[in-house]
Amino acid sequence: GVAFSTLIQAPELRDPGRIEELAWAGEHPQSRAVLLGTSPARREVELWEWTLAPGECYCSEADAEGWSEQIYVVDGQLTLIIEDVEHRLQVGQFHVFPSNCRYAYRNDGVVAVRFVRNVVI
């Protein structure tokens, strides 16, 4: 009855939104799986691929209570704004947050930003 994420995370680092633990390694040094973070879910998880052109911004109203998002940047730089606080995410960086607040995605760079977005419902 113990979650996998609980088993691999160090006891003193109990933050489900930022686990960052190696969960599998292949024979080749570049083959690996890292569990970045988790969020509790009631019904489903939506998997999205987003692309924002330079200067583009998407603003969202608050989602329902209990919803959360997991963002992972693939290309470019994403400015994630949560309740007027800016988080600049580079390639390979991620952020997990409850989305029952105002938030926005903005591309302040000169190239398109691509990111993966999981909406946990």
Domains of the chain from N-terminus onward: 4-35 (no CATH), 45-120 (2.60.120.10)
What's this model's pTM, rounded to 2 decimal places? 0.83
Average pLDDT over residues 108-113: 96
| Average confidence score pLDDT of the chain | 91
User: Would the pLDDT of 45 be above 80?
Assistant: yes
**Is-contact 16 37, C-beta < 8 A?**
yes
